[in-house]
Amino acid sequence: MPPSLPNFSLSTRLLLLALIIVFLVTFHLHRSPSSLNTLISHHLGGTGGGGATAGPCRLFLSFSATANSSISSHLRALTREPHLAGTPSAAAAADYVRTHLELAGLETLTRNYSVLLSYPAAASLSLLLNGTLVKTLSLAEPADPTGRAVAPYHSYSPSGAAVAPVVYANLGRDEDYLVLDRLSVDVRGCVVVVRRGGGPRGTIVEAAAARGAVVVLMFGNGVGGGVERGTVLLGGPGDPLTPGWAANASAERFRFADAEVRKRFPKIPSMPMSTVTAVEIMGAIGGPPAPPEWKAEMSAVVGVGGGSTMVNFTYQEDRKLAEIQNIITIIKGCEEPDRYVILGNHRDAWTYGAVDPNSGTAVLLDVASRFGALLRSGWRPKRTIILCSWDAEEFGMIGSTEWVEQNLENLGSKAVVYLNLDCAVQGPGFFPGASPQLDKLLIEIMKHVTDPDSEGITVYHTWVAKNGGVNKIERLSRADSDFTAFLHHAGVPATDIYFGEDYPFYHTTLDTYEWMEKHGDPSFLRHVATSEIWGLLGLRLADDRILPFDYNSYASQLLEHTNALTALLDGLKIKPIFASIRQFTAAAKAVQDEAKMFEVQGVAEDAASCLRLRAFNDKLILAERSFLDAEGLRGRPWFKHLLYSPPKDSASKLSFFPGIADAIYDAKNSIKGEESNIDHEIWRVARAIRRAADVLQGELT
């Protein structure tokens, strides 16, 4: 006879029976996850690996209940001190991240690089009238009276000095200099003052140098007395001394004087300054009246300068080799360990970095903790998941670029995707960016994550309502975060997601935990939602048997881009692109049909069936690589993606087809022979799209 139950009450017996049933069901699902995955995949229309609430994804979401508390704790710890790359405090931040990754039970590696970094040694600024000193001006940050953070500066600005007249050039764009020309104000030999917002800092400085300016002084909105630091490095990301290869300790390095190095730095010095200092300068410069639209944006502007008022400026740069640390965590896949799903965030900051980047670092540690718990439950990803904490991003995406350059061949054949976080939480509202084949997956996951600011509504529904019913996903043609090396150089599809459109204290000492706690995300639920979306993306891409890539979305996006191009160019001129898109569209549909066949028929466990599925997934992975061109963009060979790389004109209306955008810009500026270059760039894009179609078709042509 079976043993009798102890003399428990009826309610206790029922509770014990329920727990036994839950255990047995859980044990069965753990041993045979396909039953649950198949059911939910059918319900959600997934691709063979389960929808966003299936199996490990459901368990991953279950850890959210107390995640806001642990994320808040991580962010507080990471932002106690400024931690600029290459400094002792940066090493302390690296130790914190490494320790907590290891506490999650994850295998953690450190990859060191010796790179050229740039710091301020000394700077001064004073106002002169008719050669006589009027006032010594401050280059300090009013919001940092104790000087705990590095003084405001532009990394890689060359040393220099000048006693020269001052000219105000608004945002420092081409059209602003045309306004000065109409006012008969010449910037040659002058110190140019500009307001931030006209494009990348380095581009603004180079534009002034090309017109003969000797120094550029920049100011921002000055909210709360903050001063925006930043880099002026030119020509792409990465260590300036090792362009195209990794900056290992024993690597070949160019000398500072080599042309390849010198072209990475502006020809004239530049410096950020507070709005208070900018107002003092502009109140004294006189000259022709500024246009009304300039005054509307900066009320202190009266004249544009060019007269007898001068400034005396000096800057001394401290440029040196410094060691940086990337921290890499590897969760090996149990079926395809040579296929990599990579999640990354940088941890270095100009100051305290509560938003930029440690809102993302705190989320990284939360996702790592969840993955560790999944591993302890017995889960293993099908493909390898790699978590990366990058260093020296603020100097020009250096840590991630060096790692990509070191591992370029492996990534080219094995990387499935790169999922980026940077300023993960800046405020309300979700802003997704992605390569087009990831749109469908991203939207599906957004439908399974509760909006942190609207009870009972998903992130997807809030996002669509805000965009007027349009699925507005950004394309990653900017080069301002760590997806740059992966997408623009290695051709790895990428995402970049964040909450909040912007925040007023970018790169200042006001980017603190206290601001995040009071304003950016008081409940830390936006951080939790970011963790859920980012982690679910990683899980689906690592575990779905059929990779959830949708090239129909890519085909539609390419057609939209090309239609937009007809507003700038003759439709007949771009016929080659339309022809290639038709071939790509047919290939994308065939791939979708093939995926449905796998779903309907299932995939047997024999070797031949597994190889067929792997070959199919490889087509999905490698199609993005086809958009690379070995020669890269003309004049900027490091950027190789012909669809989504940054155009050299930061004011370009084209956020796609960068080679065509560059050729149009050069033709507009009357550079000889550029009309024929437009035709050539059109053909280059057409060939790239056709290559991708051939890869999706999977047959030799």
Residues 192 and 216: beta-carbon distance below 8 Å: yes
Beta-carbon neighbour count of residue 356 at 10 Å?
Answer: 25
CA 683, 687, 690, 692 torsion: positive or negative? Answer: negative
Q: How far apart are CA 423 and CA 362, in angstroms?
A: 11
The residue whose two tokens read 């071939």 is 583
Q: How far apart are CA 463 and CA 452, in angstroms?
A: 12
Q: How far apart are CA 195 and CA 213, in angstroms?
A: 16
Compute φ and ψ for 469, nearest 5 degrees. Answer: 85, 5
Residues 248 and 113: beta-carbon distance below 8 Å: yes
Residues 499 and 424: beta-carbon distance below 8 Å: yes
Buried (b) or exposed (e) across 227-245, using 16+ Cβ within 10 A?
A: bbbbbbbbbbbbbbbbbee
Q: 605 exposed, middle or buried (CB, 10 Å; 0-12, 13-18, 19+)?
A: exposed
Buried (b) or exposed (e) across 138-164, using 16+ Cβ within 10 A?
A: ebbbbbbeeeebbbbbbbbbbebebeb
Q: How far apart are CA 106 and CA 13, in angstroms?
A: 40
Q: 572 exposed, middle or buried (CB, 10 Å; 0-12, 13-18, 19+)?
A: exposed
Beta-carbon neighbour count of residue 224 at 10 Å?
Answer: 13
SS3 state of residue 362: helix
Catalytic positions, please? 393
- Structure tokens of 618? 């490889």
- The residues, ordered by sequence, that sit 6+ positions from 624 with a Cβ below 8 Å of its Cβ are 435, 437, 491, 492, 493, 692
Q: Which of these, 335, 331, 492, lies nearest to 416 by C-alpha position? A: 492
Beta strands at 305-331 and 160-168: parallel, antiparallel or unpaired = antiparallel
Residues 282 and 193: beta-carbon distance below 8 Å: yes
Q: Which of these, 137, 509, 566, lies nearest to 349 by C-alpha position? A: 509
Beta-carbon neighbour count of residue 324 at 10 Å?
Answer: 26
Q: How far apart are CA 518 and CA 524, in angstroms?
A: 10
- Structure tokens of 639? 């950027």
Beta strands at 107-129 and 305-331: parallel, antiparallel or unpaired = antiparallel
Residue 383 region by backbone torsions, left for phi larger than 0, else alpha for psi between -120 and 50, else beta: beta
Q: How far apart are CA 20 and CA 41, in angstroms?
A: 27
Beta strands at 494-499 and 430-434: parallel, antiparallel or unpaired = antiparallel
Query: Is the N-terminal amide bond of 337 cis, ω within 30° of 0?
Result: no
E strand segments, 352-462: 383-390, 415-421, 430-434
Residues 516 and 425: beta-carbon distance below 8 Å: yes
Residues across the chain: 701
